Every structure is written in structure tokens, then in C-alpha cells.
């Protein structure tokens, strides 16, 4: 996806590997040392986001006054802040400096949830449907990856995608050697003779696959719905201030209506989002083509209510536990409870991540 999801990856990075572990420790420290943004009823809130195809709507909605419009409707103020470092944005949210933050389902589990912050996925915005992929140089079948060094951002969704890809051909991570590589270095690394396999997200993925002898042998369209992009809100803040949920969801779907418009209004919106993310209309629409956006709230609700979501979070939790991302005290993958409409995966007495379609359903029913 963009980085880090590492944008800086989609140039953000979907998770920064070793920095993620450090970020978790720092976030936990600040969480204990500061007063989280979890007071009772309030009228001022702040959310943060980072550059990524599925999160650019927040910047557009802020610039166009759409977020302010919906905040005014509920007599509140919402400060929308762009943070260039994806993982840092999650760390700051975890420390209570923001009430809501854009992040993937994996990072929501392994940073705020693992740090003890009870969070709710207020908006399920999209999932990667080809934005993340495995590329081999000179080989066109995934099985050829056996024994190779694989360059990727360690402990990121790229790492998760690799694990799922290997499972599809009856292999495990023991069959390859993972080489932690910054998203900023992946493209240049791939041009060297020593690097024959990479896993990354767009726009880096498109750039690498355009190079000679490059073959996309597995991508996120093979595991649809597993790499999910969310707006996460502090659960206590949301419970105390449902007007925040209503305003954010109302603004989001107004932005979605404009963004998906087939006329000039939609083109203008997508052009602005592309330019703000460092590309143009064509580049942004290319990223959208491999992203399953939920433009309609009904679609997001249906996805959230599916039994598949609980299964996906089990996959994510098991991967995260194997790599020590659920915290040093986690005895197993079920240590953290993840609540979904179809039930809880993990420890129901320690639920720290909740997928609640209530506000999206309100949007679908025209109740906002």
C-alpha cells in the first residue's frame, strides 16, 4: 500500500519493523506518564492521519471544510492533523495525544491494543486488493522463492503478506531469509544483483514490477479483506461522546460520495488527493484500482459483520504473536480480545480492539 503505510510509505509504511517495537515501548511509557484523551463529555477533539491512498480523504475533507461542517452540526470542534511518520502517528494516539487515528488492522492490534488502549474501529474504509505484493526477479512462480533472501519492511503488513503467501505453497518463513529493508531503500535495493525478491506496497510495488525481469507472483488480492485500513477511535472517548462518532462518520461518507462521483466533482477530488500524496490523478487512480474502497456505508457494514473478519483477526493475531508483537507478557495469540459482530476472537476478558459498525449503520440508514 502507500508507504509506511510507510509513506513517508505508501510512502508511509504499513509498520516500521524494529522501529515499531521501539515505538511500542515509547508509546507505553507516554501512556503511563500522561493523561490520555479519555475524559468524559467534551466538545473539542483531534484526529491524526498519514499519507496513504485510503486515508487521503481526511486531508481533503479537512481542506474542503467538510469535517468542520459535520463538527458544527454536532456543536463540537475536530482538529484534523497530518503526521508524516505513520508509526509515530499511532504512537501519539496510543499515548492519548489524539482521540482517533488512521491505521491498519494489524497495527491497531499490535500497538494501541497491545499497549492496553481500548480502541474501536469506527470506520472500515477499505482493504488492500492488490496494493501489496511479492515480486521475484527472473522467476514467475511463487515456489521459486524457497531459499531466497526476501527484502521487506520487517514486522509490517508486507511481512504478514509474505507469511500468508508462503502458506499458500506449503512453506513457512523458515524456507526463506527475511532481510529488513527500509521502504525508502527497497526500490534501489531491488536494482542490485544481490536482491532477487521483495515484498512491498504501492506506489513502490508498481515501480518495481515495471522493471525488467520482475514478476508479481503473489499479491493481496489473493487474501482479500485481510489488510484493512481503519479509523480507530479511543473507545472510552467514543462512548462518552457519540457525537464525535456521528460527525466523523457523517463527514467520511460525504467525502466518499464526492470522491466516487463520476463527474467533474469526483475528478477534482481525486486530483487533489493525488497531488497531496505526491502523485497525480493517474497515479492516484492506479492505487485506487488495487484498493477495495467502501464508498457506501452499507458495504462497510456488510464487510464488518462478516464471519470472515473474525477469521482474519485470528490470522493477524497468530502472526503477531509469533513475532512478539503482542507484548512480552502475551502467553498466546489469544491474549488480546478482538470484538467483532460475529463474536470475540481471543480473551473476552481482555478486549482491546472492537469492530463496531453502529455508526456506519446509522449512515446507511440516513440517521446522521
Is the domain of 86 the same as that of 141?
no
Domain end among 222, 251, 266:
222
Is the domain of 259 the same as that of 358?
yes
pLDDT for residue 5 is more than 50 = no
Q: How far is CA 255 from the centre of its chain?
A: 19
Share of residues in the chain with pLDDT > 70 (%): 89
DSSP letter assigned to residue 45? E
Q: pLDDT tens for residues 90-133? A: 999 999 999 999 999 999 999 999 999 999 999 999 999 999 99
Measured in degrees and rounded to the nearest 5, phi and psi for residue 254 equal: -70, -40
Work out the average pLDDT over 147-170.
95
Domain CATH code at residue 30? 3.40.190.10
Mean pLDDT taken over the chain: 90
Count of domains observed in the chain:
2
pLDDT for residue 17 is more than 90 = no
Domain end among 189, 222, 255:
222
Share of residues in the chain with pLDDT > 90 (%): 82
Is the domain of 63 the same as that of 195?
no
Is the domain of 118 the same as that of 48?
yes
pLDDT-derived band at 278 (thresholds 50, 70, 90) equals confident
Domain end among 201, 222, 243:
222
Best CA proximity match to 129, nearest among 303, 366, 345 = 303
DSSP letter assigned to residue 116? T
Measured in degrees and rounded to the nearest 5, phi and psi for residue 325 equal: -95, 0
pLDDT-derived band at 203 (thresholds 50, 70, 90) equals confident
Question: Would you say residue 7 lies in a domain?
Answer: no
Q: pLDDT tens for residues 169-188? A: 999 999 999 999 988 899 99
Is the domain of 107 the same as that of 170?
no
Domain coverage including residue 163: 132-222
Question: Would you say residue 205 lies in a domain?
Answer: yes
Best CA proximity match to 144, nearest among 187, 197, 206 = 197
C-alpha cell at 338: 478482538
Question: Would you say residue 13 lies in a domain?
Answer: no
Q: pLDDT tens for residues 32-58? A: 444 445 458 899 999 999 988 999 999
pLDDT of residue 39: 54
Please state whether the predicted TM-score (pTM) of the whole model is above 0.85: yes
Amino acid at each position: 500500500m502507500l508507504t509506511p503505510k510507510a509513506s513517508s510509505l505508501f510512502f508511509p509504511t504499513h509498520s516500521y519493523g524494529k522501529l515499531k517495537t521501539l515505538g511500542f515501548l515509547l508509546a507505553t511509557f507516554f501512556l503511563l506518564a500522561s493523561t490520555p484523551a479519555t475524559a468524559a463529555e467534551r466538545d473539542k477533539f483531534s484526529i491524526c492521519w498519514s499519507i496513504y491512498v485510503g486515508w487521503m480523504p481526511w486531508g481533503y475533507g479537512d481542506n474542503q471544510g467538510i469535517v468542520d461542517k459535520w463538527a458544527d452540526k454536532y456543536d463540537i470542534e475536530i482538529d484534523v492533523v497530518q503526521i508524516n511518520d505513520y508509526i509515530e502517528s499511532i504512537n501519539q494516539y496510543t499515548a492519548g495525544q489524539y482521540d482517533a487515528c488512521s491505521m491498519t488492522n494489524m497495527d491497531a492490534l499490535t500497538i494501541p491494543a497491545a499497549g492496553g488502549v481500548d480502541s474501536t474501529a469506527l470506520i472500515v474504509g477499505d482493504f488492500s486488493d492488490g496494493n501489496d505484493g511479492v515480486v521475484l526477479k527472473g522467476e514467475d512462480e511463487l515456489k521459486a522463492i524457497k531459499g531466497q533472501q526476501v527484502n521487506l519492511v520487517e514486522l509490517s503488513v508486507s511481512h504478514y503478506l509474505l507469511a500468508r503467501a508462503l502458506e499458500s505453497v506449503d512453506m513457512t518463513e523458515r524456507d526463506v531469509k527475511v532481510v529488513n529493508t527500509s521502504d525508502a531503500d527497497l526500490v534501489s535495493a531491488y536494482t542490485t544483483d544481490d536482491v532477487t525478491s521483495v515484498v512491498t506496497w504501492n506506489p513502490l510495488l508498481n515501480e518495481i514490477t515495471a522493471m525488467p525481469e520482475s514478476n508479481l507472483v503473489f499479491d493481496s488480492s489473493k487474501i482479500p479483506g485481510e489488510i484493512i485500513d481503519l479509523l480507530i477511535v479511543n473507545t472510552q472517548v467514543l462512548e462518552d461522546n457519540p457525537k464525535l462518532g456521528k460527525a466523523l462518520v457523517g463527514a467520511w461518507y460525504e467525502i466518499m460520495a464526492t470522491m466516487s462521483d463520476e463527474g467533474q466533482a469526483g475528478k477534482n477530488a481525486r486530483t487533489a488527493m493525488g497531488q497531496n500524496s505526491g502523485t497525480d490523478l493517474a497515479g492516484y487512480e492506479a492505487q485506487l484500482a488495487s484498493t477495495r474502497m467502501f464508498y457506501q456505508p452499507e458495504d462497510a457494514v456488510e464487510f464488518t459483520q462478516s464471519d470472515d473478519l473474525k477469521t482474519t483477526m485470528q490470522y493477524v493475531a497468530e502472526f503477531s504473536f509469533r513475532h512478539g508483537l503482542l507484548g512480552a507478557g502475551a502467553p498466546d495469540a489469544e491474549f488480546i480480545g478482538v470484538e467483532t459482530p460475529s463474536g470475540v476472537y481471543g480473551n473476552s476478558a481482555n478486549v482491546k480492539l472492537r469492530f463496531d459498525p453502529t455508526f456506519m449503520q446509522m449512515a446507511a440508514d440516513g440517521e446522521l
